[in-house]
Amino acid sequence: MTEPGPGTAETRDQPAITERAAPAAPAAARRTSLLVTLVLGGLTAVPPLSMDMYLPALPQVTAALHSPAATVQLTLTTCLAGMALGQMIVGPMSDKWGRRRPLLAGMVIYIVATALCALATNAEILIAFRLLQGLAGAAGIVIARAVVRDLYDGVAMARFFSTLMLISGVAPVVAPLIGGQILRITDWRGVFVVLTVVGVALTLLVWRTLKETLPPERRHPGGLAAALRTMRDLLADRVFSGYLLVGAFAFAALFAYISASPFVVQEIYGASPQTFSLLFGLNSVGLVAVGQINGKLLVGRVGLDTVLGTGLAVIALAAGALLAMSSGVFGHVGLVPMAAGLFVLMSAMGLVMPSTNTLALLRTPHAAGSASALLGTSTFLLGSVASPLVGIAGERTAVPMALVQLSCAVLALVSFLGLCRPWQRRGERTASGERTRL
């Protein structure tokens, strides 16, 4: 089957591929072992491990390096910025040279950068190495998504993304706990030593178990100019851009929760750190559980666009309820109603995230690396914008958090309805002659 390129009339008005698997993809998918699945999940977990395992060590770093807290916090910002920029670099590279070589190169650089972080003697050096760590660590997450697109199609791809969520969704929960335990037996440098060991183990597993998934005949020749043209063409596809924005705004709502919840739950509602950790864990479990329900029960029975639209509507309703409660519409409310609203919002992400990735990548079998880079970079950028907005009115009100979440949810719905327009594609024939199922 020959896929039309993005930007053509055909791809702008209908999906390039249906939700049924293309003939070649299921055969490749059946050869995917449990170990490879775990490796891909581990690669997607590298960013949250690199960010969150380090969080409990921030006060120690501030004291040890004799630097202001604001300077040390730049080690988080630069790592996040590196992950956003790195995806834009590695994604097109993987379309040109295949998946294995850029991934292995990125992981080796990640190992070196992480080890150098453990040896940093001042905050400025640590900031520089954290930037390099983020740039290299981006290879794991962007190429993992591209590999999934190489191996899977349609319903099978949606199910696999839900499986990856089971692995990568646990990482943000356990990472701070692991970091805290490391600090009980060593100092902050030990966190980077453990991350270095994790990087070495993942690199060896990639080298031994992950075969090349992009054959030479499907690679893109050309240099930077060709890569930029590919990304321009991808963004010219209205539907792809719609799913990209849906995923980015949904992630921004999630990041608003991550940034603001420690202050909202503990400072405003008086919960203990242990209660906050429990609630944070429950919300993460809800996200992972709904993701698994989506992958095991809904995908294949309910159309992906229907699942995505439902998830976005639930997020918008939950965010609206949180805004009403935090602004005093229902009078003073306690922790339990707010926690319930946050749980519903977080759980609905389990419907949105796998569906968004699948529907976007369905349109881009010809440039999965570049498409994955655009998806990843957009989520990191909007997430980094949402983070400071939640504290714009101080730490004593939850209104900014809820307002950011509701705004992001509404913008995601507008992108879905205005750009993706799933009802226009229902039943239309694609290039393969099949009919779409929404």
Nearest Cα to Cα of residue 349 among 407, 405, 277, 396: 405
Task: Say which DSSP state 20 is in.
Answer: S
Residues 6+ apart with CB under 8 A from 281: 173
* 173-205 burial code (b ≥16 CB/10 A, e <16): bbbbebbeebbeeeebbbbbebbbebbbebbeb
Question: In angstroms, rounded to a whole number, what is the distance separating the alpha carbons of residues 414 and 87?
Answer: 26
- Which pTM was predicted? 0.74
Local mean pLDDT, 10-residue blocks, the chain (438 residues): 38 36 40 77 86 79 84 80 87 88 95 96 93 92 88 81 74 76 89 95 93 86 74 90 94 82 79 77 85 83 90 96 89 88 93 89 82 86 77 72 93 95 63 39
CA-to-CA separations, 420 to 186, 202, 305, 311, 414, in angstroms, rounded: 51, 37, 9, 15, 9
pLDDT, position 400: 87
pLDDT, position 29: 41
Q: What pairs with residue 299 in β-bridges?
A: 302
pLDDT, position 130: 93
pLDDT, position 63: 87
Question: In angstroms, rounded to a whole number, what is the distance separating the alpha carbons of residues 314 and 347?
Answer: 9
304-326 and 335-361 are packed helices; what angle lies between their axes, rounded to 10 degrees? 150
**What are the backbone dihedrals phi and psi of residue 157, each rounded to the nearest 5 degrees, phi first?**
-65, -45
**What are the backbone dihedrals phi and psi of residue 421, each rounded to the nearest 5 degrees, phi first?**
45, 65
Residues 6+ apart with CB under 8 A from 340: none
Q: Computed over its alpha carbons, how large is the radius of gyration of the chain?
A: 21
pLDDT, position 334: 86
Q: What pairs with residue 435 in β-bridges?
A: 429
Residues 6+ apart with CB under 8 A from 294: 158, 162, 307, 350, 351, 354, 355
pLDDT, position 431: 33
Question: In angstroms, rounded to a whole number, what is the distance separating the alpha carbons of residues 404 and 257?
Answer: 9
pLDDT, position 54: 79
Question: In angstroms, rounded to a whole number, what is the distance separating the alpha carbons of residues 327 and 228?
Answer: 45
Question: In angstroms, rounded to a whole number, what is the distance separating the alpha carbons of residues 361 and 167?
Answer: 20
Task: Say which DSSP state 298 is in.
Answer: I
pLDDT, position 228: 78
Q: 361: burial class by Cβ within 10 Å (0-12, 13-18, 19+)?
A: buried
